Structure 1
């Protein structure tokens, strides 16, 4: 069984720790349909994705602020 303390929180950005507002995670938590996630309209470049820690890859979504910051850079 994985250690809960070392597992990334699916509702938190793996880069800054803020709430990522992932619609899929919100739907899972609440059981209420959320509609399409904001991330379907966002661009996640290879440089930004490379910053995600290995233990969070495919487990936690990057937040809008980090995605916007990377796009602006």
Structure 2
């Protein structure tokens, strides 16, 4: 017997890696209907981002933040 797992709902305004605001202009435009300048992510290099740490089901659901895109770990509290 298999156990069903409830789908995880992400907040599209938050980075799925660290939980911080991702400052995604495309998401702001989608939510508000107000045109935004091009998002920072359109010119970002994501080659250092630890994208492989995201479960496959969570990939492509929300933008990661600039810090995670650069591969910089979040500050420790």
Q: TM-score, normalised by structure 2?
A: 0.72
Matched residue, 1:28:
30
Q: Give the root-mean-square deviation of aligned CA atoms.
A: 2.0
Higher relative CO (Cα under 8 Å, sequence separation at least 6) belongs to 1
Runs of 4+ residues deviating >6 angstroms:
none
Task: Could you tell me which runs of 5 or more consecutive residues in structure 2 were left unpaired when the two chains were aligned.
Answer: 1-5, 73-77
Matched residue, 1:14:
16
Larger Rg: 2
Task: Could you tell me which runs of 5 or more consecutive residues in structure 1 were left unpaired when the two chains were aligned.
Answer: none
Q: TM-score, normalised by structure 1?
A: 0.76
The number of residues matched between the two structures is: 67
